[in-house]
């Protein structure tokens, strides 16, 4: 990728899985095509257990967090999947593989018949197939609450090998945590302004509370680097290799005072607490094509405009030289009534940029990116030219309409 200017997504959705057409990425002066390669819209009445495992996988109980993962805490309804954290005391008889020997020794615990009481429960799903290079798009919403810990991440079973799309805390309402974990360490070559070694990853600020509205996170996993985008805006950049495929995790959790991602809940934390996901979409690079096919479909969040943006664009996690050309995501959706909706996620130069669609019977130019634009396609129109002006630069593609 190296210097993306923007990504253009053309999406045709039906119930259940998304039936996508193509995704276009502008790299330097060229648009490269991507195709929909999997994911879930969570529109079915229940979780697709041929695609997902409902649970943590290797254990029910995290002893150090006083937490259990319960399949009943994953609820799919009304086009969303909800991961619910609860204040819920439960007594479990643990298998040998579930025993945290280090915690037992550190806390000097004595368990009666391997029984252990946990104070909280949460929900988690894991993709049964392992994922690899591609662009991952997640639409999500969280709720406020100290100690609650939603996440979107990748782990393949190899020790200390992990990619964190994000980790959130209910009390850090305007912050997103991104990180990577490598078998030999991920922090080599990262230094601060005084040339001292510095750990990569950490908390990145955003301008509005994450619990106010739905937001988009994109993670682009490439052979030599990983890029994070928040609502279409560049958020983080990591230079490094993750050559092994990994499973995709979506879950909520509960932190604990003195343990990972402290602090834990307090008396003001409201229960239950819900982390909602609208969809996860996976895109893979494809060969270039000057003309792309656009078929009618229904895009579920076409009218949503994302206003939340990163509040800081510098530091080890950003790398200005890589993101200086990145601008936005632009969505096009053609419905069966000859209406084409254009939506922007991210930023083109307002007042200096425009999007134009023109053909034999249609000629519309759009420069107000603060809201979606709906364009009526004239009957009989089959081929449109898409032109995007960004300052003095011009980028174009042909759209072939098939009704």
Q: For residues 349 and 276, give the distance between their C-alpha atoms in angstroms, rounded to a whole number.
A: 32
Is pLDDT of 18 > 50?
no
pTM summary value: 0.92
The verdict on residue 277 lying in a domain is yes
Closest of 170, 166, 165 to residue 142, by C-alpha? 170
Q: Point out the least confidently predicted range of 17-21, 95-99, 220-224, 301-305.
A: 17-21
Closest of 169, 184, 289 to residue 241, by C-alpha? 184
pLDDT at 14: 33
The verdict on residue 110 lying in a domain is yes
Look up residue 70 and give its two tokens.
């319960």
pLDDT at 82: 98
The verdict on residue 336 lying in a domain is no
Q: Residue 5 half-sphere exposure, CB side, CA atoms within 13 Å?
A: 18
CATH code where residue 145 lies: 2.60.120.200
- Residues 289 and 396: beta-carbon distance below 8 Å: no
pLDDT at 302: 62
pLDDT at 298: 59
pLDDT at 372: 85
Residue length of the chain:
403
The verdict on residue 206 lying in a domain is yes
pLDDT at 25: 73
Structural domain that includes position 61: 39-284
Q: For residues 30 and 7, give the distance between their C-alpha atoms in angstroms, rounded to a whole number.
A: 11
pLDDT at 299: 55
Report the pLDDT averaged over residues 131-160: 96
Q: How many domains does the chain have?
A: 1
Higher pLDDT, 58 or 167: 167
The verdict on residue 257 lying in a domain is yes
- Residues 283 and 37: beta-carbon distance below 8 Å: yes
The strand pairing partners of 17, in sequence order, are none
Torsion of CA 94, 66, 102, 186, to 10 degrees: 120
Q: Point out the least confidently predicted range of 10-19, 296-305, 323-332.
A: 10-19
Strands 4-10 and 328-334: parallel
Give 83's pLDDT tier (boundaries 50, 70, 90). very high
- Residues 180 and 226: beta-carbon distance below 8 Å: yes
The verdict on residue 360 lying in a domain is no
- Which range has highest mean pLDDT (84-88, 186-190, 289-293, 346-350)? 84-88
Look up residue 402 and give its two tokens.
């098939």
* pLDDT one-digit tens code per residue, 148-201: 999 999 999 998 999 999 999 999 999 999 999 998 888 877 877 777 778 899
* pLDDT one-digit tens code per residue, 270-282: 999 999 999 999 9
First-to-last alpha carbon distance for the chain, in angstroms, is 33
pLDDT at 195: 74
The verdict on residue 223 lying in a domain is yes
Q: Point out the least confidently predicted range of 127-136, 180-189, 201-210.
A: 180-189
The verdict on residue 156 lying in a domain is yes
Give 287's pLDDT tier (boundaries 50, 70, 90). low
């Amino acid at each position: 990728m190296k210097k993306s200017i923007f990504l253009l997504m053309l999406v045709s959705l039906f119930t259940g899985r998304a039936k996508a057409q193509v995704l276009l990425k502008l790299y330097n002066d060229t648009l490269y095509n991507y195709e929909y390669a999997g994911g879930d819209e969570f529109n079915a009445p229940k979780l697709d257990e041929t695609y997902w495992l409902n649970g943590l996988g290797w254990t029910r109980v995290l002893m150090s967090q006083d937490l259990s993962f319960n399949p009943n805490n994953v609820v799919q309804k009304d086009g969303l999947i909800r991961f619910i954290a609860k204040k819920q005391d439960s007594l479990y008889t643990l298998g040998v593989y579930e025993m945290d020997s280090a915690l037992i020794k550190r806390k000097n615990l004595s368990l009666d018949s391997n029984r252990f009481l946990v104070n909280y429960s949460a929900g988690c799903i894991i993709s049964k197939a392992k994922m690899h290079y591609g662009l991952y798009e997640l639409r999500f919403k969280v709720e406020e609450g100290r100690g609650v810990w939603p996440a979107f991440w990748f782990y393949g079973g190899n020790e200390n090998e992990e990619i964190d799309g994000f980790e959130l805390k209910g009390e850090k309402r305007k912050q997103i945590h991104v990180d990577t974990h490598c078998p030999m360490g991920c922090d080599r070559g990262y230094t601060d302004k005084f040339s001292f070694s510095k750990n990569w990853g950490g908390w990145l600020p955003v301008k509005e509370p994450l619990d106010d509205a739905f937001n988009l996170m994109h993670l682009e996993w490439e052979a030599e680097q990983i890029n994070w985008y928040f609502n279409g805006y560049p958020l983080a950049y990591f230079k490094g290799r993750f050559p092994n495929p990994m499973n995709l995790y979506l879950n909520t959790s509960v932190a604990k005072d003195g343990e990972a991602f402290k602090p834990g809940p307090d008396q003001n934390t409201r229960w239950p607490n819900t982390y909602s996901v609208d969809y996860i979409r996976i895109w893979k690079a494809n060969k270039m094509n000057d003309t792309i096919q656009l078929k009618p479909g229904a895009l579920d969040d076409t009218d949503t405009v994302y206003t939340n943006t990163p509040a800081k664009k510098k530091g080890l996690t950003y790398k200005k030289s890589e993101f200086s050309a990145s601008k936005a995501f632009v969505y096009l959706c053609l419905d069966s009534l000859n209406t084409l909706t254009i939506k922007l996620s991210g930023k083109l130069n307002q007042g200096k940029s425009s999007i134009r669609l023109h053909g034999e019977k249609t000629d519309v130019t759009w420069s107000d990116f603060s809201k979606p634009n709906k364009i009526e396609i004239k009957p009989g129109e089959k081929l449109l030219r898409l032109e995007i002006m960004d300052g003095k630069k011009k980028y174009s593609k042909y759209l072939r309409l098939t009704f």
